[in-house]
Structure 1
Amino acid sequence: MRKFLIRAVTLAAAAALAAPAAPVTAAAAQGLSFRPLHYNINGYNWGGYAATGSGFTSVSASWTEAKATCNSTNDLYAPWVGIDGYGSSTVEQTGVATDCSSGSPVDQAWYEMYPANPVYLSLSSYPVSTGDVITASVTYTGNRMYTLKLTNSTRGWTYSTSKSLSARRASAEVIIESPTGAYPNFGTLNFSSATVNGKSLGSFGPAALDPSSNGTYEARTGALGSGGTSFAETFLHE
């Protein structure tokens, strides 16, 4: 996994329920997890923003799926939103993974209640392509229950599921992550409408995270704009 450097970032201007089909991508077959903020000899593994504290009940954000160019068949990354993971051993999260294991990028929607394995949605029932507008949310509904929801407004589908997990609810995140430690070239991915507990992400003073490997930045997290609800992730290096 990769390393981020926490920087001081200035705030600019301050359903259809359906069981997913059997996974078809290599990422799904391997059960690769988008897991809690993690350290190994390569460093930390997240980029984006993480709000910390207690009592987090919801997080939501939108993005336009970026065009990715594979550098190698090991490349894999995902934008996602989630609760927990920053200083916790659980993550309740959902997003879209871009997998280069076939030699070409394959976009696939997924959710994960870590430490359980990720669940990848059917490519035919829930397709995602470059340029699609995605909205993701995770909501705590009480009694250890979470609702995870993905909407592709470009293609007109919504997937929602409710799952149970005992978790701390001590952080909320809007993140990019590479479980393999190798990013495809995704250019620039823009997050928008990022909210936590119904308020702007920026109002929580979140930490800005830049993924890097052995001292080399892999992506840059831009300053928060639009009242603390939007920011850009820019690819720098695999």
Structure 2
Amino acid sequence: MRRFLTRVAPVAVAVAALAAPAVPAGAAAAPGLSFRPLHYNINGYNWGGYAATGSGFTSVSAAWTEANATCRSTDDLYAPWVGIDGYGSSTVEQTGVATDCSSGSPVHQAWYEMYPANPVYLSRSSYPVSAGDHISASVTYAGSSKYTLKLTDSSRGWTYTTTKSLSSQRTSAEVIIESPTGAYPNFGTLNFTSATVNGSSLGSFGPVALDPSNGAYEARTSALGSGGTSFSETYLRE
């Protein structure tokens, strides 16, 4: 995923020359920073949440209430998302909502990404998101290397669905928060609910818990709830 505002932070210069992808009508994409596969030699690195590992993953879904974040710097950028692949593989099929502070104030924007392709940001006028909105997201393998990505803002009354193709391994499924800049805005506590993998509770897969860290922990991932479908992320530091 890449920043969607016209201002590009210095940390983004190295990728600013990447060509923008072809996007559907009503969507937008711009250069910035990408949400990438996890390099998990350090616990969490820039991921927080849970990753189920194995093979043959076909679906992942979760819901959350979009946090009322406070920007600490213009580098702050993060997103809750759900996806297949990325934990130990070179692709990610994912969708969620980004909060970008490059303007000095938090800006929310829905997006999806079939990494390593560039991210696609949805039009903020057609698919608006604000703090407090109830979001649900899912990624489903549709066969023949095709994935259906679905994002719903029930507070605003919209749903976006697209089907894209990507050759991938389907060796993990995740419910995640991520900051590609390594700098989180203060999002307080974000609660994930209704987290499922392959139609069963996330917890039934014995997923790996991840705490994001850039040398010190930036957020804390809670234990899974008793039903295995809920957990929280609590902000610790930028």
Q: TM-score range by the shorter chain?
A: 0.7 to 0.9
Task: Name the aligned partner's letter for residue 218 of structure 1.
Answer: E
What does residue 70 of structure 1 align with?
A: 71
Structure with the bigger RCO (C-alpha within 8 Å, sep 6+) is 1
**Per-residue deviation, residues 83-120 of structure 1 (Å, max 9, x unmatched):** 00000000000000000000000000000000000100
| Alpha carbons of structure 1 residues 211 and 159: separation in structure 2 relative to 1, 3 Å | same
What does residue 28 of structure 2 align with?
A: 22
Work out the percentage of aligned pairs sharing the same amino acid: 84
Q: Counterpart of 1:203 in 2: which secondary structure?
A: helix
Q: Counterpart of 2:45 in 1: which secondary structure?
A: coil
In the aligned structure 2, how far is the partner of 1:144 from the partner of 1:213?
34
Checking the alignment, whether the CA contact within 8 Å between 2:142 and 2:148 is kept in structure 1 is yes
Q: Counterpart of 2:213 in 1: which secondary structure?
A: strand
In the aligned structure 1, how far is the partner of 2:194 from the partner of 2:205?
15
What does residue 9 of structure 1 align with?
A: none
Q: Counterpart of 1:217 in 2: which secondary structure?
A: coil
Task: Name the aligned partner's letter for residue 25 of structure 2.
Answer: A
What does residue 193 of structure 1 align with?
A: 194
In the aligned structure 1, how far is the partner of 2:42 from the partner of 2:191?
30
* Aligned positions of 1:28-67 closer than 5 A: 29-38=30-39, 44-67=45-68
Please say if 1:109 is aligned against 2:110.
yes
What does residue 225 of structure 1 align with?
A: 225
Checking the alignment, whether the CA contact within 8 Å between 1:42 and 1:213 is kept in structure 2 is no
| Alpha carbons of structure 1 residues 219 and 54: separation in structure 2 relative to 1, 3 Å | same
| Alpha carbons of structure 1 residues 222 and 43: separation in structure 2 relative to 1, 3 Å | closer
What does residue 12 of structure 2 align with?
A: none
C-alpha deviation, 1:31, in angstroms: 3.6
Checking the alignment, whether the CA contact within 8 Å between 2:42 and 2:213 is kept in structure 1 is no
Task: Name the aligned partner's letter for residue 230 of structure 1.
Answer: S
Checking the alignment, whether the CA contact within 8 Å between 2:195 and 2:202 is kept in structure 1 is yes
Task: Name the aligned partner's letter for residue 227 of structure 2.
Answer: G
Task: Name the aligned partner's letter for residue 220 of structure 1.
Answer: R
What does residue 8 of structure 1 align with?
A: none
Q: Counterpart of 2:204 in 1: which secondary structure?
A: helix
| Alpha carbons of structure 1 residues 39 and 52: separation in structure 2 relative to 1, 3 Å | closer
C-alpha deviation, 1:152, in angstroms: 0.3
Unaligned runs of at least 5 residues, structure 1: 1-17, 24-28
TM-score (norm 1): 0.87
In the aligned structure 1, how far is the partner of 2:36 from the partner of 2:236?
22
C-alpha deviation, 1:38, in angstroms: 2.4
| Alpha carbons of structure 1 residues 94 and 50: separation in structure 2 relative to 1, 3 Å | same
**Per-residue deviation, residues 159-205 of structure 1 (Å, max 9, x unmatched):** 00000000000000000000111000000000000000000000000
Checking the alignment, whether the CA contact within 8 Å between 2:76 and 2:185 is kept in structure 1 is yes
RMSD between aligned alpha carbons? 1.6
| Alpha carbons of structure 1 residues 190 and 204: separation in structure 2 relative to 1, 3 Å | same
4+ residue runs over 4 A deviation:
39-43
What does residue 83 of structure 1 align with?
A: 84
**Per-residue deviation, residues 184-231 of structure 1 (Å, max 9, x unmatched):** 0000000000000000000000000001121x1100000100410000
Task: Name the aligned partner's letter for residue 155 of structure 2.
Answer: T
| Alpha carbons of structure 1 residues 219 and 42: separation in structure 2 relative to 1, 3 Å | closer
Task: Name the aligned partner's letter for residue 236 of structure 2.
Answer: L
**Per-residue deviation, residues 125-159 of structure 1 (Å, max 9, x unmatched):** 00000000000000001000000000000000000
Checking the alignment, whether the CA contact within 8 Å between 2:78 and 2:180 is kept in structure 1 is yes
